[in-house]
């Protein structure tokens, strides 16, 4: 499933003040740089784990509805906003919620057809079906926040490191986020 971020997070899991306290930074001259590190750390951990750590709206695209009775989202999802599709004539339609059941639990969200329902026919197109969901939550787990602080600190104090990417992130970051890895989309 091809996916995109429709609306990014309104706020990051850690604040600028939290990061500055963690790094013992007392000046304001690098606040903009620190803000970019926070966003980059969240993005890096989301890509590494295949899961969102701040609430954001995402879309996934399919070339058509599956032959199976379920669609698996590539990540955990707090809610499913809509399922739209191109009918055989190429017109965009919204699949009524009365046709399916959304289950957000587990490592990925799941959309199941209800008993007696069928997926509609679609026009052949790489993006014939569009699913929109909210991934992440308003509050990230404490170990994710700590991993973000460690990663930001590593990048802040080692700005010019190049070479082996494994040497560019502390082992503690990997240890903290390991349990959050999913079969994600990233």
pLDDT in tens, 17-57: 999 999 999 999 999 999 999 999 999 999 888 889 999 99
Tell me, what's the pLDDT at 185? 39
Has residue 165 got a pLDDT over 70? no
Q: How far apart are CA 6 and CA 43, in angstroms?
A: 15
CB atoms within 10 A of CB 104: 16
pTM metric for this prediction: 0.79
Query: Domain 11-54+139-180 belongs to what topology?
Result: Hypothetical protein yqbg (1.10.3230)
Burial 120-142, CB ≥16 within 10 A → b, else e? eebeeeeebbbbbbbbbeeebee
Rounded percentage of the chain residues whose pLDDT exceeds 90? 70
């Amino acid at each position: 499933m091809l996916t995109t971020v429709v609306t990014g997070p309104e706020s990051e899991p850690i604040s600028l003040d939290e990061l500055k306290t963690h790094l013992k930074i007392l000046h304001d001259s690098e606040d903009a740089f620190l803000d970019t590190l926070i966003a980059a750390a969240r993005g890096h951990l989301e890509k590494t784990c295949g899961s969102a750590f701040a609430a954001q709206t995402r879309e996934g695209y399919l070339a058509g509805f599956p032959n199976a009775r379920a669609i698996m989202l590539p990540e955990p999802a707090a809610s499913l906003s809509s399922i739209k599709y191109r009918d055989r004539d190429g017109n965009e339609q919204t699949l009524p919620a009365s046709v399916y059941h959304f289950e957000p639990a587990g490592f990925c969200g799941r959309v199941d057809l209800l008993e007696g329902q069928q997926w509609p026919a679609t026009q052949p197109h790489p993006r014939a079906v569009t699913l929109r969901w909210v991934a992440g939550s308003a509050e990230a787990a404490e170990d994710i926040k700590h991993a973000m602080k460690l990663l930001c600190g590593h990048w802040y104090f080692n700005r010019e490191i190049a070479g082996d990417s494994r040497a560019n992130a502390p082992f503690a970051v990997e240890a903290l986020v390991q349990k959050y890895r999913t079969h994600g989309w990233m």
